[in-house]
Amino acid sequence: MDSNQCVVKGFSAGAVEAGIKKKGGTDLALIFADRPCAAAGVFTTNRVKAAPVLVSMERIGRGTARAVLANSGNANACTGASGPSAARKAGEAAASALGIDPEEILLASTGVIGAPLDASRIEQAMPSLVGALRSDGLMDAARAIMTTDSFPKISVFEGESGGHSYRIAGIAKGAGMIMPQMATMLCFVISDIHISSRNLQKALVEATGSTFNRITVDGDTSTNDTVIALASGAAGNADLDRAGLEVFGTGLTAVLNELARMVVKDGEGATKTVHVEIRGAVSAEQAERAARTVANSSLVKTAFYGQDPNWGRILAALGRSGIDMNPDLVDIRIDSVEIVSRGMTRGEEAEAAGAERMKNPEFSVVVDLHIGPFSDRMLTCDLTHDYVSINADYRT
């Protein structure tokens, strides 16, 4: 994506190498608004929360902010009293360099858990970081927050309100510890639309519910999961009416959905993106539980990697999910190929056809329970040798 496509009125962004990552590379990103913005945030539901999450959760309640400061290479989690202290020192350094109140800065970190964050490195890098701010610098920020990601993730939506055009741009990073349960995943969204913080928060919660809360790479929920949205109002539109809010919500969801798909596609070691859909459940809660259980099953995910339509693993995952079901009623399809009908195999020919579909980099698994009207879906990936290698070597 061309960097000019990521320009959002009222914002600048930049990144530098602060020496936080062991292996080097840019690891400190800053997004800055030239005016106070409506601010919204959704954070990890993990009871073990990183210091920057706690600080940002406290500050987001004000409803306004002007900057997001994020580092990669260190999660600043499980570090005792030094964690919040380091987070606040980093924020204070940014505030001083930008000439704003520290309370206007939201913080995020990603990387190794349990290692103290050396805030002095961030303090020393701050003049260079502020000097690196550019209106077209969002891609640089996207690269700086990467850890095990193989590519930067960015998405843009353009809309109109009352004759005023506006833009929504988002960046995100994965690529492991991904089952956000939003609320290691970070996502920052900026827009020049004029919108109240209350409406922005409502739209963000709704959008994350149908996007980031419906993906899983490995079933782990990070201590640092953070989605932050800032809206500068520089587009100059009037207050949004119901129709305008719906259009904005649709655009925000589209941005987050594309980012969520990128996160799964770039899951650690992943070679397959798989849409898991459950139909015919007795309740919405049970449909979600069934979809989540199948999508998180290590045995199912290794079968995806092996291009093996091992439907017995899918049926077993459903059986342990705790949902109401009659195994004699279950149908299972790989894309349009039915491999199980009423709990029984459709035979070797059907399974061979299903295996052919699984050779594609993206395919769907559709399960129909046939006992109710509710459905749900999850986006997942396969589980590969590389996933084990990446995580076995993560701290070395």
pLDDT in the model for residue 178: 44
For the stretch 54-74, pLDDT in tens is 999 999 999 999 999 999 999
Residues in the chain: 396
**Residue 34's pLDDT band (cuts 50, 70, 90):** very high
Residue 366 has pLDDT above 70, yes or no: yes
Task: List, for residues 80-121, the tens digit of each pLDDT value.
Answer: 999 999 999 999 999 999 999 999 999 999 998 999 999 999
Structural tokens at position 41: 């945030």
Average pLDDT over residues 188-209: 97
- Check: CB of residue 182 under 8 Å from CB of residue 207: no
Of residues 221 and 152, the one with the higher pLDDT is 152
The pairing of strands 164-173 and 153-161 is antiparallel
Q: pTM above the 0.85 mark?
A: yes
pLDDT value at position 150? 87
Say yes or no to pLDDT of 181 above 60. no
Query: Which uninterrupted H or E stretch holds 326?
Result: none
Q: What is the DSSP string of 92-137?
A: HHHHHHHTS-GGGEEEEEEEETTSPP-HHHHHHHHHHHHHT-BTT-
How far is the C-alpha of 186 from the C-alpha of 181, rounded, in Å? 13
Give the pair of three-digit tokens for residue 347: 């035979």
Domains and CATH numbers, the chain: 3-265 (3.60.70.12), 273-392 (3.10.20.340)
Q: How confident is residue 396, by pLDDT bands cut at 50, 70 and 90? A: low
Given this model, what pLDDT does residue 392 score?
75
For 65, phi and psi rounded to 5 degrees? -160, 170
Read off the amino acid at residue 302: T
Which carries the bigger pLDDT value, residue 199 or residue 44? 199
Mean pLDDT for the stretch of residues 43-51: 91
DSSP 20: -
| Model confidence pLDDT, tens digit, residues 321-332 | 999 999 999 999
Which amino acid is residue 4, in one-letter code? N
Q: Which of 26, 184, 216, 384 is catalytic?
A: 184
Residue 395 has pLDDT above 90, yes or no: no
Question: What is the torsional sign of CA 175, 66, 55, 76?
Answer: positive
> In this prediction, what percent of the chain has a pLDDT beyond 90?
83
Q: From 73, 75, 69, 134, select the one nearest 96 (Cα to Cα).
A: 69
The reply to whether 293 belongs to the active site is no
